[in-house]
Amino acid sequence: MQNNNCDYLSFAYNTLRSIGVFSSSDSTKWTQWSLNFYRAIIFIVMTSITVLLMVQISVATIDLSHLARTIDIWTVFFSGMYKWSYMTVFNGEFAQLKTKLTVIQAQGSAAYGSSADEFTSNYLKPMRNISFWYMFSGVVAAIFIDLYPLLTYPKGDQSDSQYYNDPKSYWLSCWMPFKLNENWMFPVVFACYSFASVFIVMIYLGIDTYFFGAIYAVGGQIELLNTSINNIENILAQCKYN
């Protein structure tokens, strides 16, 4: 029987599914509709922020350091959204990678029994741990960066308008290219930026983890095959001398 605990790419696959890239294999009409709605919200929010960052770049500024940071963040957002959109559109093809590896694992279990499952589980354990801490540390770092301005740049004697329109009030000194005139606009903008930054981090780290896990798993199958071939050679050698 196949050991589900050593299933390939489950953590990375579920991470990408949580951000709308992959869909459930047994999804119903309503769950698919909900997923499409979720994807639409993500696309609208992330694209809006990316476009606004591009507009911000075009706004004349004498602060070159701020301009450079804005360009860096815009590049990250643009490339991240491109990767997310591409993988979402062709999610079936990318999901086959996990499916094929699972089939190979099942064939190995059928051919070599529980020893193959044990080998796979032990081989994948370090990769699963690395993937988890890689994703966890990245998300924690993103949240810390988001909250950093609130912790280190208090409002002080500034008026609400001054504080809300000060780029230092936002993470990495990046802000929307329009003036905030209402108090409720600041938490909305701040929340959108925070969501977007964590989402972008999950895109990059999720994709990295998915493909790194696939490469690592293929390496494990090659090692398992090599071990099996060596065992066969040893058995044949013993039979020859006997």
The band of 83, judged by pLDDT with boundaries at 50, 70 and 90, is very high
- DSSP summary character for residue 55: H
Q: How far apart are CA 159 and CA 152, in angstroms?
A: 17
Q: Which distant-in-sequence residues (6+ apart) come within 8 Å of 100 by Cβ?
A: none
pLDDT of residue 2: 42
Lowest mean pLDDT among 49-53, 123-127, 227-231: 227-231
For residue range 105-118, list pLDDT tens digits in order.
Answer: 777 777 676 777 77
Q: How far is CA 126 from the centre of its chain?
A: 19
Residue 184 confidence (pLDDT) above 70: yes
The band of 167, judged by pLDDT with boundaries at 50, 70 and 90, is confident
Q: How far apart are CA 167 and CA 173, in angstroms?
A: 5
The band of 87, judged by pLDDT with boundaries at 50, 70 and 90, is very high
Residue 204 confidence (pLDDT) above 90: yes
Mean pLDDT over residues 41-45, rounded? 92
Residue type, 149: P
% of the chain residues with pLDDT over 70: 83
**Domain boundary assignment for the chain:** 4-241
DSSP string, 123-141: HHHHHHHHHHHHHHHHHHH
